[in-house]
Structure 1
Amino acid sequence: MTAEVQHTSENQPIKVLGDTLLVNYTDDITDPVPMLSINGTLIASAGNISVIGGKQKSRKSFFINMLSTAYLNGEYDIITGSKEETRPLLLFDTEMGKSHVHKALRRICRMCGLEEQHDQLKVFFLRERSVEERINVINAQVEKYKPGFVIIDGIVDLCHNFNDIYLSTNTVQFLMHLSSRYNCHITTVLHENKGVADSNLRGHLGTILAQKSETVFQLQRDGDNTKVSAAATRNISFEDFLFKINEDALPVILEVTQTHLKQTATDKMVEAMRLTLDDKALCYGDLQREYMEVAGVKERTAQTHISNCKKMNIIFKSEDDEKYRCTQYR
């Protein structure tokens, strides 16, 4: 059934709210501009947001230094940036003291091969500011510099209550609006929930960020090293890799063997289950059927894997509609 369109007396369609948001088949819309890649796999594009998650002391700040260097220099080992991108990088730190923020700035410059300030790097110390002041500063500085890449180390400090769905939605909406308006990429940092078995990002803020992000990076300590994984991505997933901190206090990506990074049967099961459900809600029969197709397993194995994932809190069954969802969307 076709909706009837009202016209004016001159036989012109009446303009209403939302007309400018209409997407048509014949529109000439270009793909998002790649900003950063890992081993040739896209991880960040202009106009999108991403989030870096991990437990405390998982070296999220060092990973930020690596992304920053790749963006500013064009590459940092397996992480590469756009050769054509010349816009500044803005780094807003809401967590560390001023001396630590200064050390991070100098570290990025050293990683870029400089012994002076990089002219395209702007770093801001926001720890002592209120939530409103931080948001206003970020808004003003993005408007001033028109950056290509923005990093906010401590997105929780832009939200009055990360467990409030309304406030969390507003915070994420602010990021999406900013990235779209200035056609830049915005990477944020958020801690995971406490507890070894729980790798979900904190609160409603973490859930919404994971839903809206182009890439969700997960950092995990692996002895003296840190493993970087794509917990979720809208692109092809990059292979896990490790980095360590060398004697010069700089992050170094390791040449790890495929054996070290080889997925276990449990890893494959969890990845297949997350790919099957993504942000969907499925009844048991549909979940079993789609999982069999994604994982390439038979019915009995699919049933066992669904049960195991439920026990591991990877998925859950809603009491409201009795459908299964990924726990990150609880």
Structure 2
Amino acid sequence: MEKSNQPNIPELLENSRLRVTDVCDMPPEILYVGDSVIGTLGNFSASTGKAKSKKTFNITAIVAAAMIGGTVLRYRANLPTDKSRILYVDTEQSPYHCIKVIQRILRLAALPLDFQPTSLEFLALRKHTPQTRIAIIEQAIYGTEHLGLVIIDGIRDLAYDINSPSESTNLITKLMQWTDERQIHIHTVLHQNKSDDNSRGHIGTELNNKAETILQIAKDSINKDMSIVSAVHIRAMEFEKFAFRINDDALPELAEDYVPDGEVAPKGFDYQELTSEQHRQALTETFRKKESLGYGELIEALKEGYGSIGYKYGRNKITTLKVFLSNKLMIVQEGKAYRFNHNFYY
């Protein structure tokens, strides 16, 4: 007689029963923003955001922190020794762009680019069907020893129809099964609707209902080069939102000058503090070596330029000055670079 594939319901019932006298260990905490826990083993979380909000850049910082057991941007990671391996799954990008992601992770972690770390496994699944992608991921999750953290960049691509209730429920059930049985943490990425801040489709609804933490990555309404990270949903203590920008090395960089909503912003640069000619002298020195500067280069060059005329400003004052100069069109932005507008009107 063939063995039945039907589940043993009485056995499952007994294994599912909890008693007040049972002792359950607290799940190990592995991912933080500051002192706030955003990820534990046995659970899953997600990052959401609109297109081009730098979600993947944000994820690389989380992975880099996990690889070094330290802090990158505001993310702090602490994977147990027996859960130190990381699986990164990309469902959207070509192998060429996936290699760029790996390189970005290693650069953030200050690791060499000519050697693949044994702690990082990377899968590029763009060419496969959703069903095949799920099968490959499951094989990797159950076949990778010492696995602690799994990134699924593009969970939408694990479903044929993101608005199908049954397909979405089955997929979220898979996440809960994988995290529980393997005692790992899974962090997924999902786009938001164009018209609002809700995660896309029925999958988004299920994620919001079941995830331990939902992070939102959004472009700043004023400075489009700035991405803001906040918690839409978090079971633990909420963290203060923070911001990052992409620096001249194409890496996410913490924006120390970002001021969260509700706090008092630094006072704007005083129009009467310097004359038009003093600004012109300082800006001429700022752009003396290069006609076009990236954001990081600009901040440092402004320090030197205004220092050369006797005004040695700190970083906070310089960032306030930069906003003033941009608003007055004394410097203009072209793409991700800035240049001196010699014909400015003060």
TM-score bin (small chain): 0.7 to 0.9
Residue in 2 aligned with 1:218?
Answer: 216
RMSD of aligned residue pairs (Cα, Å) = 1.6
Q: Match of 1:53, SS?
A: strand
Distance 1:189 1:263 in 2: 28
Residue in 2 aligned with 1:118?
Answer: 117
2:245 paired with 1:244: yes
Distance 1:227 1:221 in 2: 6
Residue in 2 aligned with 1:92?
Answer: 89
Tell me if structure 2 keeps the 8 A contact 1:94–1:153: yes
2:26 paired with 1:31: yes
Quick one: which amino acid aligns to residue 44 of structure 2?
I
Residue in 1 aligned with 2:143?
Answer: 144
Distance 1:83 1:173 in 2: 24
Residue in 2 aligned with 1:205?
Answer: 203
Matches within 5 A, 1:183-198: 183-195=183-195, 198=196
Distance 1:186 1:127 in 2: 19
Tell me if structure 1 keeps the 8 A contact 2:32–2:38: yes
Q: Match of 2:32, SS?
A: strand
Tell me if structure 2 keeps the 8 A contact 1:109–1:117: no
1:106 Cα deviation from its structure 2 partner? 1.1
Quick one: which amino acid aligns to residue 243 of structure 2?
L
Residue in 2 aligned with 1:165?
Answer: 165
Tell me if structure 1 keeps the 8 A contact 2:45–2:214: yes
Residue in 2 aligned with 1:81?
Answer: 77
Quick one: which amino acid aligns to residue 215 of structure 2?
F
Quick one: which amino acid aligns to residue 206 of structure 2?
I
1:252 Cα deviation from its structure 2 partner? 0.9
Tell me if structure 1 keeps the 8 A contact 2:61–2:73: no
Q: Match of 2:160, SS?
A: coil
Deviations 1:35-77 (A, max 9, x none): 1101111000000011110000000000110000111111214
Q: 1:208 to 1:83 in 2, by over 3 A?
A: closer
Tell me if structure 2 keeps the 8 A contact 1:241–1:256: no
Quick one: which amino acid aligns to residue 244 of structure 1?
R
Quick one: which amino acid aligns to residue 175 of structure 1?
L
Deviations 1:88-134 (A, max 9, x none): 10000000111000110111111111113222011111000111110
Quick one: which amino acid aligns to residue 133 of structure 1?
T
1:16 Cα deviation from its structure 2 partner? 5.7
Tell me if structure 1 keeps the 8 A contact 2:162–2:168: yes
Quick one: which amino acid aligns to residue 122 of structure 2?
V
Quick one: which amino acid aligns to residue 37 of structure 2?
L
Q: Match of 2:93, SS?
A: coil
1:25 Cα deviation from its structure 2 partner? 0.9
Residue in 2 aligned with 1:153?
Answer: 153
1:87 Cα deviation from its structure 2 partner? 2.3
Residue in 1 aligned with 2:333?
Answer: none
1:236 Cα deviation from its structure 2 partner? 1.1
Unaligned runs of 5+ in 1: 1-14, 265-330
Aligned residue among 15, 18, 26 for 1:20:
15
Distance 1:42 1:109 in 2: 24
Residue in 2 aligned with 1:69?
Answer: 64
2:44 paired with 1:43: no
Residue in 2 aligned with 1:180?
Answer: 180
Distance 2:169 2:254 in 1: 35
Quick one: which amino acid aligns to residue 28 of structure 2?
V
Deviations 1:189-209 (A, max 9, x none): 1100112xx100001110001
**Quick one: percent identity of the two aligned structures?**
35
1:170 Cα deviation from its structure 2 partner? 0.5
Distance 2:144 2:254 in 1: 31
1:149 Cα deviation from its structure 2 partner? 0.2
Distance 1:230 1:49 in 2: 14
Q: Match of 1:261, SS?
A: coil
Tell me if structure 2 keeps the 8 A contact 1:46–1:148: yes
Deviations 1:253-282 (A, max 9, x none): 12245xx20338xxxxxxxxxxxxxxxxxx
Deviations 1:194-245 (A, max 9, x none): 12xx100001110001110000000101121100000011111111000011
Q: TM-score, normalised by structure 2?
A: 0.69
Unaligned runs of 5+ in 2: 1-9, 264-346
Quick one: which amino acid aligns to residue 171 of structure 1?
L
Greater Rg by CA: 2
Q: TM-score, normalised by structure 1?
A: 0.72
Q: 1:253 to 1:24 in 2, by over 3 A?
A: same
